[in-house]
Amino acid sequence: MTNSIYAEIMREYERDRDFAKKKSEQARRDAYRNCPKLEEIDGEIAKTGLAIARLALSRDSAAQLSKTRKSHTVLTEQRAALLKSLGVSGFAPKYKCALCGDTGFVNNKRCDCLKRRLSEKFYNVSNLGAILSKENFSTFDLDVYSLVVDKDRGISPRDNMRAILETCGKFCDAFGKTAQNILFLGDTGLGKTFLCNCIAKDLLDNGRSVLYNTAPRLFKAIENIRFNRQSSADDVMPQMLNEVDLLIIDDLGAEISTVVTNSELFNILNSRLLDNKATIISTNLDLNKLRATYSERITSRLIGYYDGMRFFGKDIRQMRKYKTANAV
């Protein structure tokens, strides 16, 4: 796979493995220095081990084999007792991920730690890492939303947002226990992307893999793969679409919608639903426009399997700028 992100992560794994091995070797050397007897026993164990392998191959040394096996067992027991007295559990390398031994793969499948590393890298490549430090649940400011009750809806934008925020908090708390999908609906500038970032940050901090993409960028990356353009850092991204714990597609409807993008979108949504994997979609389109833009099999999934949350009110970006300017 010719991919810079991927290659970078593989180099990191290699460094982690080297580090773990060097540390365990160092621990072994320290233990030998403190207790030369241990080194002596280890040498004996290595020798009897070789002898057992050799004797097992020859047929007429059964007695010798059994004798060597016994002394091997005795030595192993002595070693265990010695280690215990030294307060050492052993010298196996302690990898960051015990599941894959810092290789990134378990049974030829991407380990969860690799998915996590990939999603963190995607965030950093797209500069979202910096954004997440600013846009998260602890910086979400309800005060930028108006308290004036909307006559048609019978609720103020602020109370509406408070309810949405609460639901999103619950979504994060229950993540992994129940499969849930969210559809953010509403005009630009009402905080949909901000809230996507809050959820992403919360889940990434809790060790989940999250992939964020705007719809235009997502379909562009898929197209690059289809036409074999391998220059982009996004090469590995489309493969992650079905694997990450949470997929966020921001600004659905901003892409140039075609029959092909429609079918790609359906495949992504459908396979994630089948795999019980959570997806968040945000869009400026209302339900009627969604129906007009996408096929029935897409909209029926969005309506049937996603919790719709409607944002309304005035564009809060001006309000936020005003507050920031006055805070200085």
**99 in contact with Zn ion (CB under 5 A):** yes
Is 83 in a helix, a strand, or coil?
Answer: helix
**100 in contact with Zn ion (CB under 5 A):** yes
With respect to Zn ion, which residue has the nearer C-beta, 9 or 161?
9
**113 in contact with Zn ion (CB under 5 A):** yes
Binding mask 165-194 for Zn ion (x = CB under 5 A): ------------------------------
Cβ–Cβ under 8 Å, residues 207 and 244: no
As measured in angstroms, the least distance from the Cβ of 110 to Zn ion is 9
With respect to Zn ion, which residue has the nearer C-beta, 17 or 291?
17
With respect to Zn ion, which residue has the nearer C-beta, 111 or 302?
111
Nearest alpha-carbon partner for 208 in 235, 233, 243, 180? 243
**Segment 119 to 138, residues that bind Zn ion, using CB under 5 A:** none
β partners of residue 252:
283
Task: Round the CA-based radius of gyration of the chain to a whole number and report it.
Answer: 28
Cβ–Cβ under 8 Å, residues 184 and 311: yes
Binding segment for Zn ion (CB under 5 A), chosen from 60-68, 107-115, 118-126, 220-228, is 107-115
**9 in contact with Zn ion (CB under 5 A):** no
Cβ–Cβ under 8 Å, residues 93 and 21: yes
As measured in angstroms, the least distance from the Cβ of 279 to Zn ion is 24
As measured in angstroms, the least distance from the Cβ of 58 to Zn ion is 42
As measured in angstroms, the least distance from the Cβ of 152 to Zn ion is 51
Cβ–Cβ under 8 Å, residues 61 and 55: yes
Give the C-alpha separation, 8 to 119, whole Å: 13
Which residue of 51, 75, 97, 195 would you call a contact of Zn ion, by CB under 5 A? 97
Binding segment for Zn ion (CB under 5 A), chosen from 24-32, 45-53, 113-121, 249-257, is 113-121
Alpha helices in the chain (DSSP H): 4-34, 36-57, 62-86, 112-125, 128-134, 157-173, 192-205, 215-226, 237-240, 259-274, 287-293, 296-305, 316-327
**111 in contact with Zn ion (CB under 5 A):** yes
Where along the sequence are the contacts to Zn ion (CB under 5 A)?
A: 97, 99-100, 111, 113
